[in-house]
Structure 1
Amino acid sequence: MTSVRMDKWLWAARFFKTRALASRACDLGRIQSNGQLAKPSRDVRVGDMLQIKNEGGDFQIEVLLLSEMRGPAVVAQTLYRETESSQEARRKLAEERKVLQQFETLPEGRPSKRDRRLINRFRGRG
């Protein structure tokens, strides 16, 4: 096997839960292959540099192995290698989020009737 579809590889490497989500991310421009936007049908080859943006963060990875089958997470992690700069950026972002949680105040209990009306008006429902 010399190449695999982008959406299949992203699913097999466990960046997305389903192939449909991987395909949608490609369509939305959240996946770049060697500096170019990648379509779901684009071929992934060993040595390609991918930039992936998903809810887990921004990943910059190098493809090491190809697979069309989704396996255990331990096997999926052997398919790619994340760059040091990408790991550091994600670690820094996680620390910033953790610090911000300390200062975030959550409302106590349910919103009042007045608060609910304000929320609905803000969302454009009333």
Structure 2
Amino acid sequence: MRIDKYLWCVRYYKTRNMASEAIKKGHVTVNNQTAKPSREVYPTDKIVLRKDQINYKITVLDVPQNRVGAKLVDMYRKDETPVEAFEHLELLKLSKEHYRAKGDGRPTKKDRRDIDDYIWDDDNIVQKEDE
């Protein structure tokens, strides 16, 4: 089975075209070699794909005949992605919530009060204690 079809069948990409585009951009390697969308996949192949800032590490267990349901995906692949990758993604999400997006306008009254709760002290930001 082709690598683009395999990644679509085991539900890493929503469409086969999205899988092909990711492979063409070099986001997917098979056995530590960059792949083309037409590359054949066999059991025991090691696939590394980068999606949503996570490097997924997959071992192919079997090749499905066609797209499978979400509950059956584990029959066809073994996910060896380290837990630290998902923790890193959570930290990225939390850090994005902290900053205001460009073009959001002036700070609200609540934002101003939050900013006022901090004071500068010799190159360090110290939070004011409640008075």
Shorter-chain TM-score bucket reads: 0.7 to 0.9
- Of residues 83, 86, 94, the one that matches 1:91 is 86
- Contact 2:43–2:63, Cα closer than 8 Å, also in 1: yes
Cα distance in 2 for residues equivalent to 1:31 and 1:19: 14
Aligned-residue RMSD, C-alpha: 1.9
Cα distance in 2 for residues equivalent to 1:7 and 1:29: 12
Instruction: Report matched runs for 1:76-87 at 5 Å.
Output: 76-83=73-80, 86-87=81-82
Select the structure that is richer in helix: 1
Q: Which runs of 5+ in 2 are unaligned?
A: 107-131
Cα distance in 2 for residues equivalent to 1:55 and 1:98: 11
TM-superposed CA distance for 1:56, in Å, is 6.7
- Of residues 16, 23, 48, the one that matches 1:19 is 16
TM-score, normalised via structure 2 length: 0.70
Q: Which runs of 5+ in 1 are unaligned?
A: 110-126
Deviations 1:42-80 (A, max 9, x none): 110000000011237220111111114112111123211
Tell me how many residue pairs correspond in the alignment. Answer: 104
Q: Determine the structure 1 residue equivalent to 2:38.
A: 41
Q: Determine the structure 2 residue equivalent to 1:73.
A: 70
Q: Percent identity?
A: 28
TM-score, normalised via structure 1 length: 0.73
TM-superposed CA distance for 1:33, in Å, is 0.2
Report which stretch shifted further, 32-41 or 72-81: 72-81
- Contact 2:54–2:86, Cα closer than 8 Å, also in 1: no
- Contact 2:6–2:63, Cα closer than 8 Å, also in 1: yes
Kindly name which structure, 1 or 2, has the bigger radius of gyration based on alpha carbons.
2
Higher RCO, 1 or 2 (CA under 8 Å, sep at least 6)?
1
